[in-house]
């Protein structure tokens, strides 16, 4: 493959990776708050809790796809720095998201209703 085509593909992968991280970072906190709010009420809203849980799982999958795209971009263009930044941001976002989800699950499980 020509060098310019590799850079173009790597740039597209990094752009998609960045978009997935930003989208997940915007959606997952809102879903966590709604999930916690629907679990906290006197009468629990199970449908909303299930929907928010599905959204959180999709956000986690988006972060995994973002990490995969970043790694693929680094493999395609070894000199690219944007792919390294995307790998670090995706990995850190994934770890933080997992920790927050575990904290939220713990908080909801401690609620006595």
Q: Find the radius of gyration of the CA atoms of the chain.
A: 18
Q: Could you list the pLDDT tens digit for every one of the 113 residues in the chain?
A: 688 888 899 999 999 999 999 999 899 888 878 877 776 665 666 777 778 888 888 988 999 999 999 999 999 988 889 999 999 999 999 898 888 878 877 877 776 65
| Alpha-carbon span 108 to 40, nearest angstrom | 7
Residues 6+ apart with CB under 8 A from 91: 67
What is the domain count for the chain? Answer: 1
Range of the domain at 62: 3-109
Output the pLDDT for position 112: 63
Output the pLDDT for position 15: 94
């Amino acid at each position: 493959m020509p060098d310019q085509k590799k850079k173009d593909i790597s740039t597209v992968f990094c752009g998609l990776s960045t978009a997935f991280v930003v989208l997940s970072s915007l959606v997952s906190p809102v879903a966590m708050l709604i999930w916690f709010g629907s679990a906290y009420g006197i009468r629990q809203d199970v449908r909303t809790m299930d929907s928010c849980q599905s959204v959180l799982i999709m956000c986690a999958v988006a972060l995994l796809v973002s990490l995969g795209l970043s790694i693929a971009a680094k493999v395609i263009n070894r000199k690219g720095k944007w792919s390294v930044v995307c790998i670090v941001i995706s990995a850190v976002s994934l770890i933080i998201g997992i920790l927050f989800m575990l904290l939220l699950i713990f908080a909801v499980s401690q609620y006595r209703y």
